[in-house]
Every structure is written in C-alpha cells, then in structure tokens.
Structure 1
Amino acid sequence: RCLTALRAQTHPLQQIVVVDNGSTDGSNEWLANQPDVTLIRRPHNEGYCRGYNLAIDATRAPYVLTLNTDAYLDPEFLSSCLVAMEANPRCAAATGQFDEQATGLTIGGGFGLGRLMRMKPTDALEDQAEVFGVTGAAALYRRDALENAKIDGQVYDECYFSYGEDIDLAWRLHLMGWDSLYVPAARAHHVGSGSLNGALRFFDKPSFFQRQALRNRYLTLLKNARGFDGLRLLLAMALGECALWPYLLFRQPLRFPALLQTPVELLVRFPRVWRWRRITQQRRDRHAGSIRRWIRGW
C-alpha cells in the first residue's frame, strides 16, 4: 500500500529508495524485483536514523520525501507540499493531515509532559500554517535545508537509533532559521508502530524502545535548549519523571532494571551530544528563545 500510494502521486517521483534494515520476512526479495525501487540492504537493524540517512544520501533531487512503511499518502500529498514550499523559500519541511489530524509536532507527545509542554496546534485544520516542525513519518524536506542541518554527515543523529529524532531535526532546522509548514491539502494515513505489531502506547512497547524514548528526550533538550528556557524545560521534565519512574516500577517491575540503563546511556553519549550542541549553536540563526511562541503557557 505504501509503494502503491507513492506510484499514484499526481507529481511524479524521480526516485524511490527503500532501506531494508535486516528484515527476515522475505520483503527484501520482493523489493529487489520492483524495477522502480532502489533497494539498500543492511545485514541487521541499524536503526531508523541510520536507514533514513542512507536513503537521503542515495538521492539527488532538490526535495526529499520521507515515508514510514506503515504510512501511505493520498495522490495530492506531494504536489500540495511542493506548491507550498516553492512559495516559501525558507521552508525546510512540510507535511499535512494524518487521518484528519493536524501533524505539527507536539512537544507534549514527544517529551511526555502532557498539557504543560504541548506545542501550540494550528488554529484550524482548513488553514495552511507555520508549525514548529513536522513528523518524519510522512514529510517533504528541502535538500538545501537538510544539507545545512547535517552534522558529521548525518541529517538524523544516529546515536538516537529511533524515537524523537524528528523533533531533534525540527528543532535544529528551526534554530538555523528554517521554517516548517502544515499543508491541509496534503493528506496521509499512518497506521502507527507498524514494525512493533501496532504497539502504539508507550507502556505497550518493548523495554528497548521505551528506553530509547526516555533517553532521547534528554538528548534533544541537551542539544537544542539554552539558558532559562532550557532550564525550565529540564525542570518540567524532571517533575514528570518523579511520577513516571514510580509508575513504571509498579506497572512493569520486570522491565525496570532494563529501563535503569537509561541514565548510563545518557552519560555514554554526553560528549558527542555536547559537541553537536556546540555546532548547532554556532550555526544558529535564531534567538534560542524563539521557541517560546510555540509552547503553551510560556
């Protein structure tokens, strides 16, 4: 369905690249027989970030469409995003409605802080609007913006593996002076957690993925937040952790020892994350406090 929807786009695609991250269900054999697909095979699962970086580097078009295998697009998705981005030269990324839901990223969803930290939504689903960032599940990116955002040759930070990497990229693009758009005429459908048998809720996911989600929230803040705003974000998250960790211990006691590896993983990644932070801040073209207008109650 994902590939069928791509082939049905009213604006033709120059190239379709699929990264097979060590699948064992025979799908790579089927993909190898698709004449319009460039297949990149990996021996094992190297993570969402590594897979997308390989795919982006394998293309040369001025725009890059990222699409999860558990998402599919209406025929006008690509053309609608292209029209909006061509009219806005500083637009780095665009996305549309997912199953009749606006899909500008929410810091509440990605950071687990509920109402306190939720990004402001668009005013109405009918109106095109600037958003803080877009979800990587289905988004059109300007290549120039992605090249500008690369650090160590990576668009997505591969130390994330998966989860929260699109928030990190959105924040980096925002700080570097790029904009993102919500385009209501572009419609997509996202099954969600297709590779995890539909485990949509945090508490239903395997501990390996829970650990990544917990860890990557801090990585994103450490790399992108500054000054008083960064302190407030970290304090707000710490308050949330005071409730989250006892709940995890009560609800999933057998997984709890594995989840306790999260602080260790943060410490191991800290030198790299701090270097990425320095590079991001050196390239910054916006005041760090510009994020305030996207956060409720700020």
Structure 2
Amino acid sequence: MMGLKTSIVILNYNTIDYIQSCVESIRAFTEEGHYEIIIVDNGSKDGSVEWLKEQSDLKCIFNEENVGFPKGCNQGMTIATGTEIMLLNSDVIVTPRWHEQMIKALYSSDDVGAVSCITNSCSNHQQIPVPYKTVDIDELLDFAEKHNHSNPALWTMHFTLVGFCYMFRRSIYDELGDLDERFTPGNYEDDDYSFRIMKAGNKLLLCRDTFIHHYGSGSFVKKRTPAEEREHIKKYNALLEKNFGYFQQKWHVRDNLYKSIGPSVVALNDYIKPNQRVLIIARSRLMYICFLLSQGKNLRVDYLTDNTLDYDLMHHHCNIILCDDLVDGVNKLNSKYSGILISNTISDYSNMARLRNIISKYGDGAVIEENSIAKRGIK
C-alpha cells in the first residue's frame, strides 16, 4: 500500500457509543499512516461533540443541525486528502485486514471504480449469516479473523453498493463530484453514485472475502413507544417513496426491483453447468448478470435488451446486446445457449408470441419465462 492513504468519512448524529467503537476499531485494524478519519457531526447533543474534540487524530466538521447524509458526506469529502475515499457508517466495527483487502480489490484492475464488503446486516445481497447472536466483540473478531483472507475469486462484480462501507478511487470523486443532495436526508444516493460510476465506464466489486460488523440504523436507535415507532416507519416509508421517485425520474428505472435476484435466475443457475453460455432477455435486470457471474461457474452471459440505460451502465464489462426491436435482436443472434431467461420486464411486448417461437433455434436447454417461472427443458 505504498503511497496510498484512504480518507474515511464518517457521519455522526447522536451515536456516541457507536462512533467511539467505530473509531477505536479503525485505529486497531488499519495500518497507521495509510488512512485519515474525517468525522462530520450533524448537530449531536449526546456528548459526541465533546468527545470528538478531545481526539487529536481526527479531522472534524461540526454542523449546528442535521444536514443529512449526502450533504454531510460531501462536506467530509471536500477536505479529504487521500488517494481513496471511503464512506463509512458510524455504527460499524471494522475487523482484521479489512482495509488492506479492499484496497487490493480496488486496485486489482484499472476499470474497478469502487468496492464494498459483506456484513451481518445490510440490503443489496451484501449480508451473510453469522455465528454470533449478540454483539460479543471476541466472537465477532474471531469470526472475522477466520473469514478475512484475501481471495480474488471472491471479488464479484456487483450492480450497486451500499453506502455503509463504500470505497472509491480519488480519481472517481474528481471526475464525478459530490453525492446528489436532492436525496437528502438520505436513501438512494448510494445507488445513484453507483450508476454514475458505472456509466463512466467503471465496475463495482463486492469483496466477499472481507467482513465487518454493522449494527444497522445506528442513527435511529433511541427507544420509541409503539405509537412513535409506527409514526417513524410511516415517515421512513414516505422518504423511501419520495427518493425512489426522484431516482426513477433521474435514471428512468422501470421499478424498484432493479437490484433483485428473482427465483427465475436462481432456477437458471441451478440448471446451468460450468462453462456454459446463457442468454437473458430483459430490461433493468443487470443484477441477474452479476448473480450468475458470481457463482464460480465461469459462465458466458449474453444480455439482450432494448433499454439504453442497461447498455450504458454495463456494456464496458459484459456482453450487452442493445437493439431497437427485441424480436429482431433475437433473430440476429448467432450463438447456441444452454439456458435462456425471458424476464417479466418485457411481458408487455406485443410480439411475445413471436419471441417464444424463435428462441428454440438457439439451443435445446432451459427456457425460463419469468412471468410464470415456467421452465422448459429442465430435467
């Protein structure tokens, strides 16, 4: 890691216990001289500010009010001096070799723009089961010590990365700029940044060889009455709906299942053998490609779409076949496939019957129509 220094940007809002344990774990498990910690405090009233001011090795920004996640991160990135920038939640405990392994993945190829890791509590297919029930630090670290061994075979291309632990090259930030503050107070700004990174020609890697602990929802941990909890959930769901609406408007995403892994692609993976070739006919289902390529089968995956966004985001790294007319596109294929998946995202297509009729010439393997999870050719 000669010459590298990661600027770790952490937001804090009334999570003094979490921010203390997070900072202590970074100090314990990150090589000295190869990181700086930038804390943006969003108007905490729990003693966090006083504690942070006592720490001589932290760079701190103190806001008088809660400015939200995107703006707070932008403030921290503005004063970052590192060769990489990492957005890290305050409610995490980092673990042995976490940083050096993610650095190794980030610089494994010139086209890797950002990386993240796996954890015990997260969405986006970044969560794994853990053997500890409560947060026993010794058990947690014992698990991480056994798990965290660098293995490039476990670096898998991912479609988006969650902002709880999100590291990207400084050059990415210099090119793309800040998080979009229109997602304030937070949610979907990490998906948006992932899309921006991919559209610029870079890929995202999930480091499945690297585990850190995530408490989850660390800024919302105060105990609530049942009535307060219902009101909190109502407001949170309204925020998700509002921010997804903006994300959908910005990127023309069809629905909020663009990161999902449906039973159809799982069924296809179960059927397909190593080194075979498969075809996906879909819109806004790029996560299916990432899932199939992460299974260690060395599959060749073709993805036929009439969705320009799909092509823009991933054609640098996968065989994305863009066509104006899907039936015409299928007719022009010249490969044989051991499995074909027709996504329900094209179920409205007026020539679906024609599509069904012509795909048989591309092989006698499985044909899965996602609408009904109907399978032909699976034995």
Aligned to 1:31: 52
| Aligned-residue offset at 1:135 | 0.7
Alpha-carbon RMSD = 3.2
| Aligned-residue offset at 1:70 | 1.0
Which segments of 5 or more consecutive residues in structure 1 lack a partner in the other structure? 107-124, 238-285
Aligned to 2:247: 220
Aligned to 2:179: 156
Do the aligned residues in 2 keep the contact of 1:93 with 1:133 (CA within 8 Å)? no
Q: Give the AA of the match of 2:27.
A: R
Q: Give the AA of the match of 2:211.
A: R
Greater per-residue strand proportion? 2
Pairing partner for 2:216 from 183, 192, 209: 192
Pairing partner for 1:9 from 12, 29, 43: 29
Aligned to 2:87: 66
Pairing partner for 1:146 from 173, 177, 180: 173
Q: Which moved more, 1:92-101 or 1:163-172?
A: 92-101
* Larger of the two Rg values belongs to structure: 2
Q: Within 5 Å, give how 1:256-275 maps onto structure 2.
A: none
CA shift in 2, pair 1:189/1:198, >3 Å: farther
Aligned to 1:242: none
Q: Give the AA of the match of 1:205.
A: H
1:96-127: CA deviation from partner (whole Å, max 9, x where unpaired) = 11128785579xxxxxxxxxxxxxxxxxx972
Do the aligned residues in 2 keep the contact of 1:76 with 1:187 (CA within 8 Å)? no
Which segments of 5 or more consecutive residues in structure 2 lack a partner in the other structure? 1-20, 128-151, 224-228, 259-306, 321-340, 346-379
SS of the equivalent of 1:2 reads: helix
| Aligned-residue offset at 1:288 | 1.6
1:167-210: CA deviation from partner (whole Å, max 9, x where unpaired) = 111112111211110112221111111111179xx967354433
Q: Give the AA of the match of 1:144.
A: S
Calculate the TM-score normalised by the size of structure 2: 0.52
Q: Which has the higher contact order (CA 8 A, sep 6+)?
A: 1
Do the aligned residues in 2 keep the contact of 1:95 with 1:183 (CA within 8 Å)? yes
Q: State how many pairs are aligned.
A: 220
Greater per-residue helix proportion? 1
Q: Take 1:100 and 1:197, find their aligned partners in 2: how far apart are those partners? A: 15
Q: Give the AA of the match of 2:310.
A: G
CA shift in 2, pair 1:45/1:101, >3 Å: closer
Q: Give the AA of the match of 1:176.
A: A
Q: Take 2:342 and 2:158, find their aligned partners in 1: how far apart are those partners? A: 13
Pairing partner for 1:137 from 158, 164, 182: 164
Pairing partner for 1:52 from 60, 73, 77: 73
